[in-house]
Structure 1
Amino acid sequence: MNLTGRITDGDLVLRRELAAPIEDVWASVTESERLARWFGTWTGDPAEGHVTVTMNAEAEPGSPTRYDIHRCDRPHRLSVSATDEYGTWLLDLDLSHADGRTTLVLTQRDVAPSGAHEVGPGWEWYLDRLESAVEDVEPPTLEAFDQDYLPLGDLYRSMLSD
């Protein structure tokens, strides 16, 4: 399991290189049916500036949560925010494409130091699930999360003390 994230000035930044066209990666994060393969589904009309997301990769489906859309520049940038029982999520997704590969940079702004050891491994798991969805292979399971991803929490915690 490789650590792909860094915490800088309170922001968690994760970077992935995907062997897929940018349009395919964009569809995997913005189309409800494609998003369902690795994260959850959404309902609503994005033109209204928000959608309701229900996470489906967890052991129990999450409560529907409103995600406000702050910026959507297809297929390069998506900025959203949400508040749920775990806190406030300020997320930026940036995509670029070169040489047949799409670079994905996910930034979660203002990560609470007390939660970095869980948030970092969580995004590692979700982004591996995204990569699996794009490549049409089996995604990492919840059992893999417990075994392979949770131990990354110590590495994320240590970034805060550097």
Structure 2
Amino acid sequence: MPQPTGRLVRKDDGVYVVLDRIFKAPIEDVWAYFSRSPRLAEWVGEYTGRPETGAVRFRMTAEGDDAPWENVSILECVAPHKFAADVGPAGDSWRMYWHLTESSGHTTLTFAQRLRSLTEEADVGVGWDYYLDRLIAARAGRPMPDWNDYYPAMLEHYENLCREVNHDLRAEQAAVHAVDRGNGTTG
């Protein structure tokens, strides 16, 4: 059975679920599985459009043939090392990024998606564990993993992470309000 690999990381713009994978492959090979639509289609989805314009449309074909097309606003692309984008409608999009580094014949992928809600999006981590394992299977020519091995088995791991971070954020916010009240200011 696969094990959950994600962690939560707080950044200035929110909390991200972050997952890593290591490939015995050159960085350009791994980058192709994110940047070339035929390679991307082997594990998660497809895109249409010209990335150099700063926008494409993407759909997660791994979700089925009727998966909706989403607008993608490319925020940063430094091939073959960094990519950041907002996926989905403005105001309700998901911020995602991936970084690739190569050393000693291995490429490390760090993938992240910003959570919009710590109380409602714990399943995002489960999904990316599944999809990144699909990437590994696609590259190796192996059968795709079974979603039922991931969900709901991994959900508790991500729910616990979300509860812990949510608790910490609330405690920090309460401490700030207590200091503000002690100083006679309102916050």
- Give TM-score, length-normalised by structure 1: 0.90
Q: Are 2:96 and 1:95 equivalent residues in the alignment?
A: no
Contact 1:16 1:105 in 2 (8 A): yes
* Cα drift, residue 145 of structure 1: 1.0
SS of 1:112's partner is: coil
Question: After the TM superposition, which of the residue ranges 145-154 and 39-48 deviates more from structure 2?
Answer: 145-154
For residues 21 and 138 of structure 1, the distance between their equivalents in structure 2, rounded to whole angstroms, comes to: 22
SS of the residue 1:116 aligns to = coil
**Which structure has more strand as a fraction of its residues?**
1
Distance 2:44 2:68 in 1: 13
Match of residue 168 from structure 2: none
Partner of 1:4: 5
Partner of 2:148 in structure 1? 146
The structure-2 alpha-carbon separation of the partners of 1:114 and 1:88, relative to structure 1 and needing over 3 Å to count, comes to farther
Other structure's SS at 1:90 match: strand
- Larger RCO, structure (CA 8 Å, separation 6 or more): 1
Aligned match of 1:106:
111
Indicate which of 12, 20, 23 corresponds to 2:25: 20
Which has the higher mean CA deviation after the structures are superposed, 75-84 or 107-116? Answer: 107-116
Q: Give the share of equivalent positions with the same residue, in percent.
A: 34
Structure 2 residue 43 is matched with structure 1 residue 42: no
Alpha-carbon RMSD across the aligned residues, in angstroms, is 1.5
Superposed displacement of residue 18, structure 1: 1.1
The total of aligned residue pairs comes to 157
Match of 2:169 in 1: none
Shift of 1:88: 2.1
Code of the residue aligned with 1:42 in structure 2: it is Y
| 8 A contact 2:115–2:121 mirrored in 1 | no
Shift of 1:114: 2.7
In the other structure, the counterpart of 2:167 is: none
Matched AA of 2:43: W
Give me the TM-score of the superposition, normalised by structure 2: 0.79
- The unaligned stretches of length 5 or more in structure 2 are 165-187
Partner Cα distance (1:15, 1:115) in 2: 23
2:60 alignment partner in structure 1: 55
Alpha-carbon distance, 1:115 to partner: 3.2
Matched, 1:156 2:185: no
Indicate if the aligned counterparts of 1:39 and 1:57 stay in contact, CA closer than 8 A. Answer: yes
Structure number with larger C-alpha Rg: 2
Q: Do the aligned partners of 1:81 and 1:89 also contact (CA within 8 Å) in 2?
A: yes
